[in-house]
Structure 1
Amino acid sequence: MRHRKTELKCPICLEKFNTPKKLPCSHTFCEPCIQSYVQAETTEETKFFRCPLCRFKIEWSTLSASEWTQSKLQTDYMILALLERETNDSTPKQVYCEPCKIANEKNVAVHHCTDCKEFFCEQCFNYLHKRKIDNNLHTVTGITQDTDLKPLEMDEPCPLHSGKVLEVFCFDHKKLCCSICFATDHRKCDTVTSLDEIANEKKEQEEIYIDDFLNKLSDVEQCTKSAVDKAKENLGRINGDKESMLQSIADIISSTKSHLDTLHEELKLSIEKKFSDTENCQQFDIECLVAFQKTLFHDKGIIEAIKEHGSRKQKFVTLEKTKDALEKHFKRLCLAYNFSDSKKYVLDIEDELKDVQTLSTLATLPLQQSGENIMTDIKNKLCPLGCIGDQVTFQGSFPVSDVSKLPQFSGPFFHAKTLSKWVLKLSKKDGMLSMFLRCLSADCTDSSYEISTEFRLVNEADREKDIIKKYFNERFLYDSPQKGCSSIINWRILENEYISNDMMKIQVKVW
């Protein structure tokens, strides 16, 4: 099967990557490109900038753009390896020393350790590899023109633990893990397998699996493109509705006297303001969808490249990382999205126009809600990729040193299954702590559905003492958008066992 050649290009300059650097949101750019972008997007007043692809908010530091990109951003060694593989496929075989690349040096490798899965120049081999006792038993071969250099293995660094690489995959949670991740969060999981074992087990199916993933990813990209087109169409319809309404009102008011003219001007200003706000929301929605579309296109390009040039392990790791990143990007898209595309403005004109002098307003501008939601289409396309889970877990720490500041609300978190945004509310009444979930998306989903929830009050000293309250398959009504449990625990017990450094940790799971 012949595949078209895929070029690895920076999303900013659209040229091949030059010193690829990875942002916290997992998107990669040329180091000079992201430096220039950061310099252009930040000022002394702003403390953050947004990823050019997914619009993820990245907190800024006091460093200069060049210092920040060099010291804080991780080099994307997988992209470097793929670029080298592209070069090696079209030129005489030549690879470079892995330790030298970490030091931003480029020296030709002359030794290959099959146990370490690394290439070394003469100096690094003699002074780094040979001087470790455990390495004396490793199999090391010299690199010649006839040396088979495939597959090229690059261990992926763990995004949570510096200096650690991804080694295993937890099938229970569908998470890539390093040794620390496994020891802290996945020791009790039933199915945890090393990446090397998975790569060997899936080698016969990898081509079919990747092709299927790429096809489904293309479906998501096409669905997102359709959503962008639909949002732009809605924006044009809103402009048409506005002009039609304003003209209609102008025709009615033109036959009245001075007081009616005054009311006309007041109503016109009100309509202009409401449509302006809606247009701004719709334009922002389009920007969010375009950013998500760019993310899908970028991820598809990376996967096509890894399919052609990567090892089996790289293919599996990249697919799982892409799934995890897509879920996060989609959640951020839905958290930012205003769900304003299906609203329609309808002018309600007062019937009693005979006594104009008694009127305080000429019309109202209510919104009519339709059942159409383009986010549902994108979600349904993402589900076959394994990116959208049926549950979401929120964890937050709340300051309780001053109980007069209760109730408190968490930041919003997103439940993909119901396309809804939620916040956690804490309150104190009659010496008891109460916790509630409150839905922020009552205007964009069905009037009711069933959800299950688990509230967990964390005991930092002894997790066996965590207080857990569960509610299964309860009917949730949006006309009363709040659910939870009241009087969960006596405040005195809370103070003795569940407050650490004046903070209280709470976990909430919704499924």
Structure 2
Amino acid sequence: MATSIESHVVDITTCAICLEKLNIPKYLPCLHTFCESCLRTYITAIFEKEHKQSIECPVCRTTVTISKEVNTPDEWAKVLPLNFLIVGLLEKEKLRDHKTMHGEELKLFCADHHTPCCSMCVSIHHRRCAKVLSIEDAAMEYAKSDEVKYLKTHLANVDYDVKVIIKDRSSAKENIDKDYKRKQRDLEVIFSDLVAKINDLKVRREAELLKIYNEVKETIDTTLIFFQNKQKNIENEKQIIDAAVNMASNVQVMIEVEKLKKQVEEHKQVIQSKTKEIVNYELLLQDVENITKLAEQMEKACQISCKKPNTYIALSSVTVTPNVSEIFSCCRFGQHTCSWGVKGAKQDAICVSLSKEIELYGLLSYVCKDALATCDVTATVKDDTTDLVVVKDTIDSKVAENNTVKIMFPKPVKLLANKKYHVVVVMKGTSWCYAGGDGETVVDSNGVVFTFNNSPLSNNGTNTNAEQIPGFVFKISDEL
């Protein structure tokens, strides 16, 4: 049975046209799979010889009709779907290949550079490296380490982030569709009783609306499709590492993990760069009230535009700065010292009111004195007895600036002007933490006046003068 299954795997990973291993495997509606380049050549030959707008599958002869949106064989070959199953099988076959370099078996492993190498590689590129082991010894050490667990964790994180982004973009697409339909109905009501000149203007404005809608929808679809494809890649990589752990040797697991670690970092970089480009949209109709009053001004009235409200997506694998131009932070302390124990579970709290409405993106928090230590934090913003947001985070001293880090919320919280809120923080760690001093009860930050009062919820010493909850990360709502 094992031989039969293996033969079948070899068969489905071979292109029926060129009889070589599939390269960029694309499948037809009948599910037969071929190399993209082989399909391109085959389609070109059919078009040139028979002048048809359809082809037959080279295996089963099922007729496949060309899409009206496709103009060339090259375009048709490119839009055919990729066979991710075959891609996965080909990757699994690669795991069974013993790699060589410079014509030699890779019998050594440089721990400094995390790469397998041959004796020539060692003599040329790794002669100054402190730790070069036999690849078997390195694999034994690798098997005892947490590298596979680490990779799985980070792969799960980027997979989670991609799903979060896909969910966010799907929601944005649904909202812009609804918004488009609402605004379309508004336009219909506005223009229903107007004369021919205004009807002509209506057509132009609808065209503008449709153009902006299509542009926005295309932008959202592009991001959505990109991350959907990215998710497929990640799922494939998860299958590969699972297959390697279950089927491959320690050496092969080590090699595959090191290769996929680079892929994970690339995923993170792509997520970080792409997420910064993400914005939400809102279609706007401007100066609507002038339409019914001044028909001669219709050319300037009811303009179609698109508002882009601030977008913030909370991710787990990377930190993305909110895509807004005016995010501020304020601090209520004049200095800080290291004198605060975080071994207990008591809560620090402060009461704050604002002169203007703001969007609260997060809190500032001090870190542990030990530069290598972490501290678990639970932060809550309360409106009387109602929790507006509760966030749990692990703050890392290594990423602190001036012994302070930002604890960002999953989404901004709106705080109203002249209303009192209580901010509560519970810190749990194994060492001493920095704490603030010389606190101010009134802080003016970028035109917003923060007024601090002692909170009855504080039972760990934090007050208007000293200790924890040094400040906030916010945006002024009037500028949204």
TM-score band by shorter chain is: 0.3 to 0.5
- For normalisation by structure 2, the TM-score amounts to 0.46
- For normalisation by structure 1, the TM-score amounts to 0.44
Greater RCO structure (CA 8 Å; 6+ sep)? 2
Q: Which has the higher strand share?
A: 2
Higher Cα radius of gyration = 2
